């Protein structure tokens, strides 16, 4: 159409197109996987935050008189321990609730650390190209050549496993996807005319990178971040299962599975309950990531 500058035409246009916030909200609700993922993660987040008030028992309190009590749906189950107790008589529901804190904390902090490292490297490599790019690409291929679980296991056994070591190790290992995505997205933006306009204005480099480049690659990075949160949660569970992650008596889900593995043939719930929780959380995060990818696809906010 023409360059509609007449007041009536533009007024009509603004009536027809709702504000982008409203549109974003609507498309969120329309996107089923995003809605389901958000719902599950939000409820798990609330549970994790309110753990001390929601948990019926102290997750560390041992009660040897009530060991291996089955969950309520068993004949011998009771509502005192809705999900039963473990081999030391600790309430399983309480441990599951506190375990959500560990999983979510590790997932988020690892994604934050690795996102910071990977995005910084990727943006610098993409923006400057040349030697910087060569150095970053070298670091990236070196990192990709290392199997994460093996390196994390070796390092954890050298330093000693703990929640802090696992978080830092995974944070320092999982930045590769951030770097790859940030690098290629920045390469595409480097020659965008609005970046050139900012350069021609004499904008300082940090301004160009943080205000012109970063907001425009954030969509892709958020999708990567959700995937890395899920990845980190699974890796924490793996390392804890192998005895090199979060140490007992912490109620990590991976550790709960490890501690229950000797009983799994006769009391299968000791591993299906934390396993199911892990499955739900990772599924929800992946659904969220998929939904976000759809939202940030062309169209998104600047359709």
The residues that touch another protein, with contacts defined as CB under 8 A, are 1-5, 7, 10, 14, 17, 20, 192-194, 196-204, 207, 211-212, 215-216, 301-303
- If the CB atoms of residues 6 and 157 are measured against another protein, the closer one turns out to be 6
Which of residues 276 and 299 has its CB atom nearest to another protein in the complex? 299
Q: What is the CA radius of gyration of the chain?
A: 24
Distances (CA, A) of 43 to 97, 104, 292: 11, 12, 19
Q: How far is the CB of 188 from another protein (least distance, A)?
A: 10
Helix (H), strand (E) counts: the chain: 14, 0
Q: Which is nearer to another protein, 20 or 138 (CB)?
A: 20
Smallest distance, Å, CB 181 to another protein? 17
Nearer Cβ to another protein, position 26 or 211? Answer: 211
Instruction: Please report how close the Cβ of residue 200 comes to another protein at its closest, in angstroms.
Output: 5
Paired strand residues for 91: 85
Q: How is residue 293 written in tokens? A: 């990818």
In this structure, are residues 82 and 93 in contact, taking their beta carbons and an 8 Å threshold? Answer: yes
Q: Report whether 131 contacts 93 (CB < 8 A).
A: no
Complex with another protein: residue 1 or 150, whichever CB lies closer:
1
Three-state SS for 71? coil
Encoded tokens for 69: 């009590």
Sign of CA dihedral 232, 238, 244, 246: positive
DSSP per residue over 160-227, as a string?
Answer: ---HHHHHHHHHHHTTHHHHHHHHHHHHHHHT-HHHHHHHHTT--HHHIIIIIIHHHHHHHHHHHHHH
Three-state DSSP class for 253?
helix
Neighbouring C-beta atoms of residue 215, cutoff 10 Å = 9
Considering the complex, what minimum distance in angstroms separates the CB of residue 197 from another protein? Answer: 6
Residue closer to another protein by CB (options 43, 199) is 199
**Which CB, 75 or 303, lies closer to another protein?**
303
CB of 23 to another protein, least distance (A): 11
Helix (H, G, I), strand (E, B) or coil at 91: strand
């Amino acid at each position: 159409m023409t360059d509609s500058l007449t007041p009536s035409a533009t007024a009509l246009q603004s009536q027809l197109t709702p504000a982008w916030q409203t549109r974003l909200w609507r498309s969120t609700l329309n996107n089923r996987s995003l809605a389901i993922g958000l719902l599950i993660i939000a409820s798990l987040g609330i549970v994790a935050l309110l753990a001390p008030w929601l948990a019926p028992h102290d997750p560390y309190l041992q009660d040897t008189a009530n060991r291996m009590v089955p969950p309520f749906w068993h004949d011998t189950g009771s509502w005192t321990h809705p999900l039963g107790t473990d081999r030391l008589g600790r309430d399983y529901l309480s441990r599951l609730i506190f375990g959500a804190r560990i999983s979510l904390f590790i997932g988020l902090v690892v994604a934050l650390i690795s996102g910071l490292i990977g995005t910084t490297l990727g943006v610098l490599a993409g923006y400057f190209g040349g030697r910087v790019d060569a150095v970053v690409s070298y670091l990236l291929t070196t990192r990709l050549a290392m199997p994460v679980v093996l390196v994390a296991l070796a390092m954890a056994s050298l330093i000693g496993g703990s929640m802090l070591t696992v978080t830092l190790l995974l944070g320092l290992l999982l930045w590769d996807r951030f770097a790859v995505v940030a690098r290629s997205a920045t390469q595409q933006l480097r020659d965008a005319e609005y970046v050139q306009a900012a350069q021609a204005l004499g904008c300082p480099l940090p301004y160009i990178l943080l205000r012109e480049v970063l907001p425009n690659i954030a969509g892709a990075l958020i999708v990567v971040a959700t995937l890395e949160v899920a990845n980190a949660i699974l890796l924490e569970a793996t390392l804890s299962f192998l005895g090199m992650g979060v140490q007992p008596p912490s109620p990590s889900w991976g550790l709960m599975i490890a501690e229950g593995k000797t009983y799994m043939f006769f009391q299968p719930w000791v591993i299906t309950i934390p396993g199911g929780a892990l499955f739900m959380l990772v599924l929800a995060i992946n659904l969220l990531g998929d939904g976000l990818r759809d939202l940030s696809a062309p169209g998104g906010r600047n359709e």
